[in-house]
Amino acid sequence: MAYDFETLTPALDADSPMRRSLTERGFSKNVIDYGVAEMKFPWLPELEEAIVKLAGTNVMGYSGADDEFYAALKKWMKTRHNFDIETEYVNQTFGVVMSIGISIRALTEVGDNVLIMAPVYNPFAQQIRLNKRNVVESELIFKDGKYEIDFEDFEKKIKDAKLFILCSPHNPVGRVWKKWELEKISRICLENGVTVVSDEIHHDIVFDGQHIVYGNISTEAYDNCVICTAPSKTFNIPGLIVSNTIIKNPEIRKKWEAERDLIFGHYTNPTGCAACTAVYTYGEAWTDEMCQYIKENFLTLKKLLAEKVPQAYMADMEGTYLAWVNLDFLGLDDDGLKEFMEKADIPVNIGSVYGAGGSGFIRVNIGCPRIYVEKFVDMLAEAVKNR
């Protein structure tokens, strides 16, 4: 490979927020965080160069995205996803979760129901509850190593909802939704007058199948959605808090922008914009190699679990760098599983935080040098042996 995916970043002895957090939580200094969704690879070189160049200007004032930014974003979405956008469709926020919160407030009222497909990224439910709306879960079905949508349940529950939040690709179960699945979601939502918020933050990290932007399903779907994207997962820059929210429908966009303006107006993060411009201009080859490396990490994890912890099983990954591993064989409740993993000195996210269907699972970040995927399995096997 032309790029380095074997150097742990940050290093184990680095003075970084990630390392300090592990120490504060009682984990040893020789483990990595398999829980938080931050990759542990060196940056794309042009990304570092762009940030150093910006810092050298001594200018970090109020700013907005410029023409170069929008050109890079449009080219990236067209080249990698065959998706066309216009500048007027795009708004920046300080992260996708902020955009989801804005969408909830703009498109629903207090007390409304918001549907999600669980188990799913836990800030969905948090944002719904914090904004005094009701969480409605349609539980995914685990079948033959993959998750499927329970469309009978989905269609039943959508009738009482005002908004549906889609995770595409789906965190934490690793699905990359097929076109027919998205088309069916769109048809059901349109028939029931439900707007879709599509969180596509992992849209570039796909290695089995092809990610389909929700707005590419049909003209009607594009007019009935808010699409949340960001370079943060692909290029490991969540701390730069830049995301791009794409809304074609002018009525939805007007409501969304009015709610945004109540929070922070339209200023953006100059460092995040510079970073986004750089990665979307120079990052295609890096992204291709990263996806291939993650796929090989997944295959390594699956093989080693079968060899060393055969009682465990995992969902097949089609995208993201977050493996979904079942440890039901331990016979532990959620608190017991958390305690077991902490005692084993393995920082992971416990599946129950992701809602219905999550108990018994752990989410494991494999966006790291392969030696640490191997180390994870060895540590888990040792803990199972010694329990």
pLDDT tens for residues 354-364?
A: 999 999 999 99
The rounded mean pLDDT for the chain is 96
Q: What is residue 215's predicted lDDT score, i.e. its pLDDT?
A: 98
CB atoms within 10 A of CB 387: 10
Locate 74 and state its tokens. Answer: 């449009």
AA letter at 192: N
pTM: 0.97
Q: 């499927």: which residue's tokens?
A: 148
Q: Where are the beta strands (DSSP E) in 145-206?
A: 146-148, 163-167, 195-199
Mean pLDDT of 320-345: 98
Percent of the chain with pLDDT over 90: 91
Q: What is residue 4's predicted lDDT score, i.e. its pLDDT?
A: 97
d(CA 215, CA 380): 41
Per residue in 140-149, pLDDT (tens digit) is 999 999 999 9
349 Cβ contact partners less than 8 Å away, ≥ 6 residues apart: 35, 36, 172, 362, 363
Mean pLDDT of 110-124: 98
In which band, very low, low, confident or very high, does the pLDDT at 351 lie, cut at 50, 70 and 90? very high
**Would you identify the CATH topology of the domain 17-44+284-386?**
Aspartate Aminotransferase, domain 1 (3.90.1150)
Backbone angles phi, psi at 329, to 5 degrees: -60, -20
Mean pLDDT of 145-154: 97
Domain limits, the chain: 17-44+284-386, 59-282
Question: Is the predicted pLDDT of residue 60 greater than 90, yes or no?
Answer: no
d(CA 36, CA 322): 10
174 Cβ contact partners less than 8 Å away, ≥ 6 residues apart: 147, 315, 316, 317, 318, 319, 320, 322, 323, 324
Using alpha carbons, select from 76, 62, 51 the residue that is nearest to residue 281.
76
Locate 317 and state its tokens. Answer: 């990954």
Q: What is residue 61's predicted lDDT score, i.e. its pLDDT?
A: 84
Mean pLDDT of 214-221: 98
Q: What is residue 19's predicted lDDT score, i.e. its pLDDT?
A: 86
Question: Is the predicted pLDDT of residue 245 greater than 80, yes or no?
Answer: yes
In which band, very low, low, confident or very high, does the pLDDT at 255 lie, cut at 50, 70 and 90? very high
CATH code for the structural domain at 59-282: 3.40.640.10
Question: Is the predicted pLDDT of residue 184 greater than 80, yes or no?
Answer: yes
Question: Is the predicted pLDDT of residue 170 greater than 80, yes or no?
Answer: yes
CA distances from 22 to 58, 345, 346, 352, 380 (A): 34, 10, 10, 21, 18
AA letter at 42: P
Q: 């984990």: which residue's tokens?
A: 27
Question: Is the predicted pLDDT of residue 265 greater than 80, yes or no?
Answer: no
Q: Check if the beta carbon of residue 324 is closer than 8 Å to that of residue 361.
A: yes
CA distances from 26 to 31, 40, 159, 338, 361 (A): 11, 20, 46, 13, 22
Question: Is the predicted pLDDT of residue 267 greater than 80, yes or no?
Answer: no
Question: Is the predicted pLDDT of residue 14 greater than 90, yes or no?
Answer: no
Q: What is residue 64's predicted lDDT score, i.e. its pLDDT?
A: 80
Chain-centre distance of CA 368, in angstroms?
A: 16
Using alpha carbons, select from 185, 235, 241 the residue that is nearest to residue 215.
185
Backbone angles phi, psi at 81, to 5 degrees: -130, 5
In which band, very low, low, confident or very high, does the pLDDT at 306 lie, cut at 50, 70 and 90? very high
Locate 54 and state its tokens. Answer: 């910006």
In which band, very low, low, confident or very high, does the pLDDT at 264 lie, cut at 50, 70 and 90? confident
Per residue in 20-59, pLDDT (tens digit) is 889 899 999 999 999 999 999 999 999 999 999 999 999 8
DSSP result, 305-340: HHHH-TT-EEPPPSBSSEEEEE-GGG---HHHHHHH
355 Cβ contact partners less than 8 Å away, ≥ 6 residues apart: 116, 118, 119, 120, 122, 125, 137
